[in-house]
Structure 1
Amino acid sequence: MARASLGLLLLFLGRSLGRGCWDSETFATPKQSHSEWLAELKSWREGHSKRYQADAYKDPTLTWTRTSYVQPQIHLYDRFLFDGSWTPERYLDDLEHRYGGIDSVLIWPTYTNIGIDDRNQFDYFRAVPGGLKALTNLTASFHKRKVKVLWAYNPWDQATRDEGRHWDVLATLLKATGGDGFNGDTMTTIPLEFWEAGANRNFTFALEPEGGGVPCDDDFSSAGWTPLGWGYFGQKRADRMTMKYDYEPGVDKMKWLDPRGRHLTHVCDRWSKSRAAAIQLAFFNGDGYESWENIWGLYNQLTDRDAELLRRSATLLRWAGQRNLSHDFDEWVPHAPEATDASKGIFASRFEKAKEALWFLVNKGKEDAEIKVRIPEPYLAEGFEIFDLYHGKKVSPETEGVVELGIEASGISALLATQEPPRALLERMRKLSSTRLAEFSDLWHVLPQKMDPRPSSKIFDSSSPPPEMVLLPRMEFNFSSSGTEFEGGCDPAEDDNEICCRDGCVEHGAPSCQCGLVQLEYFGVDVQFPWEDRPGRNHRKALDLGPVLLDRDLVTNADYLRYLNASGYSPVDNFNFLKHWQTGRPKPGDEQKPVVNIGFEEAERYCRFYGKRLPHSYEWQLAAQGPDGRKYPWGDHWDPSAVPPPGHDPESIRKHEKGTSVFGVHDLIGNVWQYTDSFRDEHTRAVLLRGSSRYNPQVSEAFPSLHQSVNWYFPPARELNKHSKYFLMSESYERAGTLGFRCAGDVANGAPAPYHYRNGEENHKEVQFV
C-alpha cells in the first residue's frame, strides 16, 4: 500500500494533547446509589463488549500482557543502558533497587532526533551500536530477566525515507529481533492491519495505543487486538504540566469493557513531580504504571517515597496477577461500598474469583486513616481467613463480620478473604511495610548536567592565522540562546528569544508548528551551562570571549578526503559512515559540499588532527552574530535568498554570500547543522547543534494528525539566538546526512580551557574591548 493509502487508513489517529475523546478513558464515580451506578456500567459493558472479537485475549502467547504492571519507556541512548557498550544488567539492577523492577520495557531510539535527516524511524533502530543483531541480544537479555520488550512506533513519520507499509516493516523487525510488541505513539486506537501483519507472519505481538484504546467514534472493535494501552487518567491539570486527579478514582473503561478484565492499562504521568496519585489510581483499577523517568533527556526520577509506593503496589499486583484475581476474575466491583469511605478519602475495588475476594484500597487523604470493612457473608464461612496483605498479617472479624484496617496517608492497602493463605506474600509485605512511607523522602530534585570540558587546541599565532581561519577579537559578548525542543515546557514570561508556541500553536493549531509547548511548571529539556544551577531552556550570560580562531568555511568532502589520506582513519563501526560518497570518495561535483554523515567524536578527531577543536556554542554564535545581537548573519529580517532553498543534500559552500557574517564566516545557517558543545548527566549525553539545514520535514498531510497536532520532527533553529539538542549515543547513531562541522583554534592571550570564556561580569572592567 502506498504512503497515501496508509494516511487514509489512519484517519482516526491523533495526538494526545488536545484530543477531546481522550477525556473519557475512565468512568466517573457514583453520583447515585452504588447499585444503580454499577448496573449502568454493566449495561454499558454488555452493549459494547459484544461488538468486538477478543482475538488478543484468546492467544496464549499474550497472557503476559495481563500482568505487565510496571513498564518504563527508555531511550536506547540512556547511559544506564548503553555507555560505550550495552549494559542491560546495570539498567535493570537500578530499577530493581529503587522500585522493585519492571515487567516490560518500551525502547525508544527515535524521537526527538528523528527528522534531522531523511532516516525513517526504523532506520534509527538499525543505527544503534551493533544494529538489529545488538537489539536481538538486548531483547534476549531482557527476556532472561523476565522483561518483555516493546518498540516505540511513530505513525506520523511519513515524510522521511519511504520503506513501505508501516505494519509490514514493524512486524518484520519485531519478529527478527524477538520483540514482544509496540506502543503506538499518538494513536488513540490501532488499525487491524497491524494485528494482521503479525498473524500473516505466524508471529503474535502485543499492540499498545498511547491513547489507551478508547475510540472517538464509539467503535470498540480495536479492543479485540489491543490488550495493552496507556492511560492519561488525570483529566485536569493543576498547572500546565502536573496532572491533577479527581479525588474519587475513576474506573478504567478499557479494563471494564472486557468482562474478565484482561486488558491492562499503564497509567502514564511522566511529568509530575509527585507520582503517588497516579500509582494509587493504577492500583485501584488493578492496572499497571508507566514508570517513565528519562523524558527526552530530562530525568524526572521518582522520589524515594513514590518509588517505595510503586514497589509495594507492584508487589501486591504481581501476586494478584499470578493468582488471577486482578484479571480473569469472576467479578469486579469498583468503589465497593463495604470498604469505601469517601469522607476519609478511602476508596476500594473488590475482585472475586473461585471463592476468594481481594480488596485494593487507596487513601487519597493527607492523614493516616482507619476504616472498618464489613466482610460479605460468603467469606465469613468456616475455613475462610482474612488477611491484611499490606501489613502481612491475619485480622479477625469483629461482630457482624467487620475488620479494622489502617492505611497510611496517600498510601494503599489490600485485604484478602481466602482459604489458602499466601504465606510468602505475607512475609514479604510484613518486611516492606515495617518502614512507614512517611520515612521515605518525597524531595524532588533536578538531575544536574555538566558541559563536557574541551581541551585547548594548539596555540596559533594571532598575527598570522591560518588562511582558512578567521580571527574573532576579544570582546564582551551578551550570549543569549534558547533551545527549540518541543517538549518540556516554555514560560512566556521568559521568552526573549521567541521559543514558546504562540497563537494557534498553543492549542496545536497547525502541523507545521515547531516550538516549545507553553507549560509553566518545568523548564524545557535543554542543557545546563557551567554558570547555571540547573538545566533550562533559556541561557543568558555576559561573557568575555576571544580572541579565538574559527574556520571560515565548513569542512568539505574534499577536506575530509585529504584528512583520511593523511591520518589513515578508519571507523570501527562504519554504519552510515560517509554513506553519501561513492567508492570511498566524494561523488563528482560534491567536493566542495560540506562533509556530512560524520559522528560527533569523528568531528572532534578531525579537528584535533589539525591542532584545532570544535567551537563552543557561544563562540559559534559570536562569529555568526557579531556584537549587535542580530537574528541572522545579515541582519534582523529573514531573507530566503541568503540561504540554500529547501532540500536535503547540502549545497556547495559559499554559494550564498549574503549569508556571510560580519567577521567573514560563511554558511552559518541554512546549509547544514553544525556540532558545538556537548553536555551530559548520569543518563544522557547530547550536543548543541547550530545553524539548521535545508531539511525540515513536515508531518505528512497524508497522515491526518488532526488540527491540534504539531510537527514532531527535529525542529529548526535558523535564528542565531536559538539552538537545538541532538542526543548522542554512538557514531553509527549520530551520523546524519544534514549534519556537518567547522573547527576552532586557540591563540595566545585567548581564554583558557576548558570552557574558553572569562566571566564577563568579573573581567570586563579591565579589558579594552574591540
Structure 2
Amino acid sequence: MSDTLDPLVPRPIDLPTVVDLHGPLTAELVDRMDDAKIFAAPDREDEVQAWRARLTEWRAASRARIGYDGRIYDQPDAAWAARCHAVAQVWLWDELLYDAERATFTPDRFLADARERFGGLDAVVLWHAYPVIGVDERNQWDWYRDVPGLRTLVNQLHDAGMRVFVDYNPWDVGTRRAGDDVDELASLVADLDADGVFLDTLRKAEPELVAALRAVRPGIVLEGESKLAVERIGDHATSWAQFFADSAVPGVLRAHWFERRHMQHHTRRWHRDHAEELQSAWFNGVGVMVWEVVFGVWVGWNPRDAATARRMLTVQRAADDLLLRGDWTPLAPLAPQLPGVHASRFALDGVELWALVNRSGSDVTGAVLPAGTVGTVVDLTAAPDQDQTAGGEHVHVPAQGIAAVLVLRPGAPEPSWLPDLRAAMRGLEHVRDAGFRHRVAVRVGTTAPRVTDRAAIEGETVVVPAGPWALTVRYRARETGMYQGAPYVDEWKPLPPRLHDPRTLQRDGVQTAPVAVGADEVSNGQFAQFLEATGYRPATPNRFLLHWSDGRPVPGHEDDPVVHVDLADARAYCAWRGGRLPTEDEWQLAAQTGRLRRRAPFVWNWTDSEHTDGRTRFAMLKGGSEHLAHGSDWYFDGGPQPPELTAKLLLPGLGLARSRWIGFRCAWVIEEERP
C-alpha cells in the first residue's frame, strides 16, 4: 500500500465515521464515535431509523461518561454563539476592510459587500500576524497593539451588530518575549473588548487559558480548529469544521449532535466549490466560514455558492429557535422517487422546517414531502413567479443546491417571523454559475523616473545592461503563494512536502535601458540628509525611524542601513536622489554579479514590486537578514539569503510594514554607454 498522499481526496482522518448499528453500544464503540468528525449516513434506507436511534443512544452514553453539564451555553453573555451562523476570516489589511490609499479602515465597505453577496455576517475573525510575523522581533501581541485605531475598528464592527474574534497563535515562541501567553491574551481581549478567540492550530484551549479569559470576559467564546473532543464541548461554544468530508448521503456533525447549541462553521479553505459543505451546514443546522482571502491568496466564492449561502443564512437567522430547540430528525422520510434529495426536519410546537439538499447533478421539482402531510405548506425558496403557499406540490430543489419548506400543522399559529422571512426570500433565487473568478495581481506604485547621467552616480552602483534576461527564482512555498493564484486548488489539507518546501520559478524579460543599482543600502546618515533637505514627514508616522533617538541616528550607527521605513518612505528618498527602487529582478541581476555590498547588520531590501489584486497588497523582499525567528515553520523567512531567493511579504498598513530588519537601496535608469 502506497503512503503517497493524494491532495485531491480527503485524508483518512477527514473521512466520516461509519456507525456500527449491530449489537450493544460498547465502551469501545462510544470511544470510536466520540472521535468522529461526521457520522456517515447509513448505506441503506431501511437502516436510517436504527442509525438515528444509535446516535441518540451514543449521545446519552457519552454525556453520562463525562458528566456533561453544558455550562458555557447557559451563560447569557455567550448565548450569541449558538446563533452565529456566518463568520468571516478577514486579513486585517484586506482592501475591502482597509483603504491603503487613504490609510483608514473601511468596515462599512466590507460589511456592505458581505450583505450583498452572502446575506451578511454575524462575526469576523481579525487575522493579524501570520504570515508576516517573524520578519522581525515583534510578537503576535505587538501585531495587534501597534495598530493605530484598532479598538475603534472593533467598536465600529460592534455598532454594526458584528461579534469580533481575535486570533491566538500558540506556535509563536520565537519572537519578542513579554508576559506569558495566558496573561497577554487575556489582556488583549479586555483591551479590545473582543467577543471571542480563534485558536489557530489548536483544537481546544487548556483549562488555565479558559479560566483566565473568562475572568476578564465571562462570556468569551472560544473557537478551536478542526475536531473538538467531547470533553471540551462544554466550555467551547463554537468550533471550526475545517476539511470535514461528508458521506454521499449527508451525515450528522458529531459535536453539534452532542450539543445542539454548539455552533460549527464549515469550511474548506482552498476549494473553489463549496456546495458540499454548504449542504452539510444546511442539513445540520449549523453555519459556515466565509474565507475568501486565505493568508493573502484569493480563493473567492463562486456566484452559485454565495447565493446558496445567502438563501441558507436568511432562513437560519429567522428560524433559529427551530434549529436550536426543535426536534431534529436527520434524513427525515420524503416522497419517493427523489434521487439525490435528502432532508432534515426541525419541529417545534407544530411548526416544521424541512431543510432539503440535492446532491445530484439534476434539478428536482415536485412534491417532496411524504404523502399524508397535513397543514399549511410554505415553500420558502420558491421562484418569484410561484406562490409560496401552493401546497408544496412544485418544490424546486436545484442541483447541488438547497431548498426550504415550512409546514404549519393544523392549529399551529403562524410564527411571528414568517412574514418578514417570506418577504426577505423573494428574489433570492438559486444561481447556476459555479465558475471561479480569478483575481490577477497587478504591479502598482511604480513611476517612470528621468534618465540619470552616469557621472552623477559613478562609483556607487552595479549596472544591469539593457537587453533580454532570464532568472531562476527560488522561494519557500507558503500559504501566501507567489505572484498569482492559490498555491493549493481544490485540495484537502496541505501538508509537507507541499507546504513550506523549496520551490523554483523562471522569470524572463527585457531590460529596455540600462539600470544602475546602488551598490550599498541607504544608510541612516544618508536618510538623515534627505530629511534635512526636504523636511519629509510620512502621512502615517507610526513606527517611522523607530530605532533613531530624538529624530537622529544613534551615534555610531550612521553607516548602518536605515530601517523602520516603508515603501512610501523608500520611494520618497529614491525620488529625491533622482532614482527609484530597483525591481526584484533588477536587484537579483545586480546581485548575481557579486558586486552588491551589504551593510551591517544584514537587512531585507524593499524592491519596486508592490502588487494588488484588489483585496491584498504584497511586495517582494530580497537579500535576507540577520534576524531569524526560531521555533516554527509558520514564521516569515529569515537569515541571510542568496540573490535568487525571494520572499513575498503581505503589506500591512498604518506603519506596520516598517520593520527593524527591512531597508532599501536605490536604482537609476541611465543612458546607454556610447562606444
Is the alpha carbon distance of 1:373 and 1:550 closer, same or farther for their aligned partners in structure 2, counting shifts above 3 Å?
closer
Q: Does 1:599 align with 2:593?
A: no
Instruction: State the distance in 1 between where 2:247 and 2:502 align.
Output: 28
Decide whether the 8 Å contact of 1:408 with 1:437 is kept in 2: no
**Superposition pairs of residues 119-518 of structure 1, within 5 angstroms:** 119-128=138-147, 130=148, 134-213=149-228, 215=229, 220-235=230-245, 245-258=246-259, 261-321=260-320, 324-329=321-326, 331-336=327-332, 338-339=333-334, 344-370=339-365, 372-374=367-369, 380=374, 384-391=375-382, 393-396=388-391, 405-418=395-408, 419-421=412-414, 422-433=418-429, 436-438=430-432, 441-452=433-444, 454-463=446-455, 465-487=457-479, 507-508=495-496, 514-515=500-501
RMSD: 3.0
Decide whether the 8 Å contact of 2:297 with 2:481 is kept in 1: no
Quote the residue 1:733 is aligned against. Answer: 656
Instruction: State the distance in 1 between where 2:105 and 2:267 align.
Output: 27
Deviation of 1:696 after TM superposition, in Å, equals 2.4
Report the residue type matching 2:328 in the other structure. W
Instruction: State the distance in 2 between where 1:280 and 1:30 align.
Output: 17
Quote the residue 1:684 is aligned against. Answer: 616
Report the residue type matching 1:693 in the other structure. S
Deviation of 1:549 after TM superposition, in Å, equals 1.2
2:75 to 52, 59, 76: 59
Query: SS of the counterpart of 1:71?
Result: strand
Is the alpha carbon distance of 1:194 and 1:353 closer, same or farther for their aligned partners in structure 2, counting shifts above 3 Å?
farther
2:51 to 37, 58, 64: 37
Quote the residue 1:634 is aligned against. Answer: none
Deviation of 1:678 after TM superposition, in Å, equals 0.8
Aligned sequence identity (%): 30
Instruction: Report which stretch shifted further, 716-725 or 593-602.
Output: 716-725
Quote the residue 1:495 is aligned against. Answer: none
Query: SS of the counterpart of 1:431?
Result: coil
Instruction: State the distance in 1 between where 2:654 and 2:532 align.
Output: 20
Cα displacement string for residues 203-232 of structure 1 (whole angstroms, at most 9, x for unaligned residues): 42110011242x3xxxx2221121111112
Instruction: State the distance in 2 between where 1:85 and 1:256 align.
Output: 43
Deviation of 1:427 after TM superposition, in Å, equals 3.0
Decide whether the 8 Å contact of 1:208 with 1:229 is kept in 2: yes
Is the alpha carbon distance of 1:304 and 1:256 closer, same or farther for their aligned partners in structure 2, counting shifts above 3 Å?
same
Report the residue type matching 2:226 in the other structure. G
Quote the residue 1:619 is aligned against. Answer: 586
Instruction: State the distance in 1 between where 2:244 and 2:192 align.
Output: 35
Is the alpha carbon distance of 1:85 and 1:417 closer, same or farther for their aligned partners in structure 2, counting shifts above 3 Å?
same
Decide whether the 8 Å contact of 1:251 with 1:285 is kept in 2: yes
Is the alpha carbon distance of 1:163 and 1:339 closer, same or farther for their aligned partners in structure 2, counting shifts above 3 Å?
farther
Instruction: State the distance in 1 between where 2:91 and 2:160 align.
Output: 19
Decide whether the 8 Å contact of 2:131 with 2:480 is kept in 1: no
Instruction: State the distance in 2 between where 1:385 and 1:562 align.
Output: 81
Quote the residue 1:26 is aligned against. Answer: 38
Instruction: State the distance in 1 between where 2:506 and 2:156 align.
Output: 41
Name stretches of at least 5 consecutive residues in structure 2 with no aligned partner.
Answer: 1-9, 17-35
Query: SS of the counterpart of 2:322?
Result: coil
Decide whether the 8 Å contact of 2:560 with 2:600 is kept in 1: no
Q: Does 1:90 align with 2:105?
A: no
Decide whether the 8 Å contact of 2:546 with 2:564 is kept in 1: yes
Report the residue type matching 2:443 in the other structure. M
1:714 to 630, 636, 639: 636
Query: SS of the counterpart of 1:359?
Result: strand
Deviation of 1:138 after TM superposition, in Å, equals 1.3
Deviation of 1:76 after TM superposition, in Å, equals 1.2
Query: SS of the counterpart of 1:266?
Result: strand
Quote the residue 2:20 is aligned against. Answer: none
Deviation of 1:485 after TM superposition, in Å, equals 4.2
Instruction: Report which stretch shifted further, 583-592 or 727-736.
Output: 583-592
Report the residue type matching 2:617 in the other structure. R
Query: SS of the counterpart of 1:584?
Result: coil
Quote the residue 2:29 is aligned against. Answer: none
Is the alpha carbon distance of 1:428 and 1:730 closer, same or farther for their aligned partners in structure 2, counting shifts above 3 Å?
closer
Instruction: State the distance in 2 between where 1:117 and 1:280 align.
Output: 43
Query: SS of the counterpart of 1:732?
Result: coil
Report the residue type matching 1:25 in the other structure. K
Decide whether the 8 Å contact of 2:470 with 2:506 is kept in 1: no
**Superposition pairs of residues 555-634 of structure 1, within 5 angstroms:** 555-626=522-593
Query: SS of the counterpart of 1:479?
Result: strand
Deviation of 1:298 after TM superposition, in Å, equals 2.1
1:541 to 508, 516, 541: 508
Deviation of 1:101 after TM superposition, in Å, equals 1.4
Deviation of 1:414 after TM superposition, in Å, equals 1.7
Report the residue type matching 1:327 in the other structure. L
Query: SS of the counterpart of 1:74?
Result: strand
Instruction: State the distance in 2 between where 1:464 and 1:431 align.
Output: 67
Instruction: State the distance in 1 between where 2:110 and 2:656 align.
Output: 20
Instruction: State the distance in 2 between where 1:488 and 1:112 align.
Output: 7
Deviation of 1:358 after TM superposition, in Å, equals 1.7
Deviation of 1:668 after TM superposition, in Å, equals 9.0
Quote the residue 1:693 is aligned against. Answer: 625
Instruction: State the distance in 2 between where 1:668 and 1:451 align.
Output: 28
Report the residue type matching 1:406 in the other structure. H
1:74 to 84, 90, 100: 90
Q: Does 1:554 align with 2:524?
A: no
Decide whether the 8 Å contact of 1:670 with 1:718 is kept in 2: no
Decide whether the 8 Å contact of 2:38 with 2:244 is kept in 1: no
Instruction: State the distance in 1 between where 2:270 and 2:261 align.
Output: 28
Decide whether the 8 Å contact of 1:456 with 1:746 is kept in 2: no
Query: SS of the counterpart of 1:459?
Result: coil
Instruction: State the distance in 2 between where 1:603 and 1:360 align.
Output: 57
Instruction: State the distance in 1 between where 2:278 and 2:457 align.
Output: 62
Decide whether the 8 Å contact of 2:335 with 2:367 is kept in 1: no
Query: SS of the counterpart of 1:460?
Result: coil
Query: SS of the counterpart of 1:138?
Result: helix
Query: SS of the counterpart of 1:437?
Result: coil
Cα displacement string for residues 615-649 of structure 1 (whole angstroms, at most 9, x for unaligned residues): 111110110124xxxxxxxxxxxxxxxxxxxxxxx
Query: SS of the counterpart of 2:98?
Result: coil
Quote the residue 1:666 is aligned against. Answer: 597
> What TM-score, normalized to structure 1?
0.75
Query: SS of the counterpart of 2:355?
Result: strand
Query: SS of the counterpart of 1:188?
Result: coil
Is the alpha carbon distance of 1:308 and 1:687 closer, same or farther for their aligned partners in structure 2, counting shifts above 3 Å?
same
Instruction: Report which stretch shifted further, 88-97 or 139-148.
Output: 139-148
> What TM-score, normalized to structure 2?
0.85
Decide whether the 8 Å contact of 1:670 with 1:691 is kept in 2: no
Cα displacement string for residues 508-553 of structure 1 (whole angstroms, at most 9, x for unaligned residues): 489xx83369xxxxxxxxxxxxxxxxxxx84522423541111111
Query: SS of the counterpart of 2:405?
Result: strand
Decide whether the 8 Å contact of 1:283 with 1:313 is kept in 2: yes
Is the alpha carbon distance of 1:595 and 1:514 closer, same or farther for their aligned partners in structure 2, counting shifts above 3 Å?
farther
Name stretches of at least 5 consecutive residues in structure 1 with no aligned partner.
Answer: 1-16, 236-244, 398-402, 491-498, 518-536, 627-660, 701-710, 751-766
Report the residue type matching 2:111 in the other structure. L
Report the residue type matching 1:449 in the other structure. A
Number of equivalences: 621
